[in-house]
Every structure is written in structure tokens, then in C-alpha cells.
A and B are shown apart, each in its own frame.
Chain A
């Protein structure tokens, strides 16, 4: 099994993801520069966080239109699991692989802090290791994380069980105070219609070892690896 970690100019969580996959989960992972055109040899893909292209134009907009994203699309169509974290989520919405858009936080400030997430569905390749309703402690670090989708899209996301994580308080309650960026319905992460693409603003790679204060994010990568093994 090998997982690709896509690097754009300005990606900066690539090495953290590499460390977690290789040293904590214990799977083969490789950094792949965005000029690479062939991702066929990989079984899964992570688009890490950072500030690809300096967030020029809109966060994720330029990276979403690079040729490597055509290869990512091809792997998605082949059913391989893909995770976009933070800027990676922005890249996935900008490329149309996920619904909606990530706009400026309702309080327009870069927020870097722990958040609590509730697992809304275990029917995805990334959440099989959790219990539904489980509350995770995973940090955010972003200024454009305010999830927006029009009403029909939002209804479809809810109906198809595509909302994967929601911002909640410590006890798992969806409240305005627990929503760090104004996201509709406190949405922190969604999957694609086929469920094999996950986008999330919080950083599970920053919460994958106890020494970091939380290892709650680890199961996302472990679930992904198990899903790949089972394919």
C-alpha cells in the first residue's frame, strides 16, 4: 500500500502527514510534487494543508487548476480514497470534487485553536474506526474555513449522509459558540457523493499522537489505511 501526499508550492503540513502515515500508522507514503502527472501507483491520496500559491485569488483556487488535479480526479473516479485537509479541503471544493465553498471566517481572523468535532457518520472510508456521535479533539488553523453551500446542496449533503464532522462543544452539542468560523450547520468536514473523498478544515495530523495533546485524529488515517487494505 502506498499513499501519495501532494505538495504544491506553499503546502506546509505535508511533512506532518508523512510522519503520521509512515511512523504512526505504519504505511508507505510518499511526497509527490504537483508536477507529477501519474498517480496510478498510489492507493490513496492526501492533499495537505498550507497556503498553496500564497492563497492568491482564493484559497486553493490556483492549486485546484494544476494538471495534477486531473490525475487526482482520475484516482477518485477509480474509487481510491482521497483526503483534503484545511487548504486541501479548499483545493477539493475549488476543483469541484467536493460540494460547496470555504469562505472567510465570520470573524475574519486566522484562528488556530483546538476544536471539538462530532463524528456524524461512520459510513465513509475515513470514519469506520469511530463510533457515530463520538467527540474528537482536533485543532483548526485557518482564516477561510466558513463552509457555504446553497440550500439544495446543503439539503442533499444532509440527506445523503455526506456531512462527516460537525463542530460541537465538549459534550457533543452543536452550538454557535462551538462554531469557530460561521460554517453552515457547523459543518467541519464532508465527503463526496461516492464517499471516497473527504474534505475537512481541522488538522487530524496535528492530533495523532498523545504527546501532541490528542491522538483523536489518528483513526481517520487508520480507517483510510484499513479501507485500502480491504479493497
Chain B
């Protein structure tokens, strides 16, 4: 089966996000007040796997080994089966 994983990587809560802070300031210049702006990166991965659980295990490993840096990041995986 083919699956699509959407992986969102973000800095752990409490970690400085200078890009987010800069965007927050720029929004203020435009008149938009916000409580906070945090940035994240999204990766879309398509892969073959026996079932959705196997796909999840696989993508988890990818996140642990490369896509995220566990010291500074949290990640979230959204998986769906492709037609």
C-alpha cells in the first residue's frame, strides 16, 4: 500500500524561535497583534508499507534518525492511505 505522511517538526516549547519572534514583530507593524508566532517545518513523504502501522513505525524512525533533532524538536506525524 502507498501511504502519505505529513511530518511537522517544531522547536520544543520554551525554546527560542527567533524567526517566529521576527514574524510576530512584522505582523505588529501591519497592525496585527498576536500572542505568539511559532514556526514549524512540514515534510510530505510518500512511502510503501504493508499497513498503516508499519508505515508509522517507519516514519517514526525517520524522524528519530534524521528529520528531527530530538534535543530541540518535537514532531507530529499525520498518516493517510493514498488511493
A and B from one complex: yes
User: Which A positions have Cβ atoms within 8 angstroms of B?
Assistant: 57-58, 61, 65, 94, 100-101, 103-108, 146, 148-150, 182
User: In the complex, what distance in Å separates the CA atom of A204 from the CA atom of B65?
Assistant: 31
* Interface positions of B from 10 to 25, Cβ below 8 Å from A: 11, 15-16, 18-19, 22
Tell me if A106 and B16 are in contact (CB < 8 A): yes
CB-defined A-B contacts under 8 Å, sample of 19: A61-B66, A61-B69, A65-B65, A65-B66, A94-B69, A101-B69, A101-B71, A101-B72, A103-B11, A103-B15, A103-B16, A104-B18, A106-B16, A106-B18, A108-B22, A146-B16, A148-B71, A148-B72, A150-B71
**Chain A residues, Cβ within 8 Å of B16:** 103, 106, 146, 182
- Chain A, Cβ-Cβ closest to B68: A58
Tell me if A100 and B71 are in contact (CB < 8 A): yes
**Chain B residues, Cβ within 8 Å of A146:** 16
B10 nearest CB across to chain A (Å): 12
User: In the complex, what distance in Å separates the CA atom of A105 from the CA atom of B15?
Assistant: 12
Tell me if A58 and B18 are in contact (CB < 8 A): no
A-B interface contact total, Cβ < 8 Å: 33
User: In the complex, what distance in Å separates the CA atom of A150 from the CA atom of B72?
Assistant: 9
Majority-rule SS of A interface residues: loop
User: In the complex, what distance in Å separates the CA atom of A107 from the CA atom of B19?
Assistant: 9
The 7 closest A-B pairs by CB, nearest first: A108-B18, A101-B71, A101-B72, A104-B18, A108-B19, A101-B69, A106-B18
Interface residues on B, range: 10 to 19
A103 nearest CB across to chain B (Å): 6
Tell me if A103 and B72 are in contact (CB < 8 A): yes
A65 nearest CB across to chain B (Å): 6
Tell me if A149 and B69 are in contact (CB < 8 A): no
A63 nearest CB across to chain B (Å): 12
User: In the complex, what distance in Å separates the CA atom of A65 from the CA atom of B65?
Assistant: 9
User: B79: CB under 8 A from chain A?
Assistant: no
Tell me if B19 and A148 are in contact (CB < 8 A): no
User: B67: CB under 8 A from chain A?
Assistant: yes
User: In the complex, what distance in Å separates the CA atom of A39 from the CA atom of B32?
Assistant: 56
Tell me if A57 and B71 are in contact (CB < 8 A): no
User: In the complex, what distance in Å separates the CA atom of A146 from the CA atom of B17?
Assistant: 11
* Interface positions of B from 26 to 43, Cβ below 8 Å from A: none
**Chain B residues, Cβ within 8 Å of A65:** 65-66
**Chain A residues, Cβ within 8 Å of B66:** 57, 61, 65
**Residue picked from A61, A103, A146, A150, most chain B C-beta under 10 Å:** A103
Contact of A149 among B18, B19, B67, B71 (CB under 8 A): B71
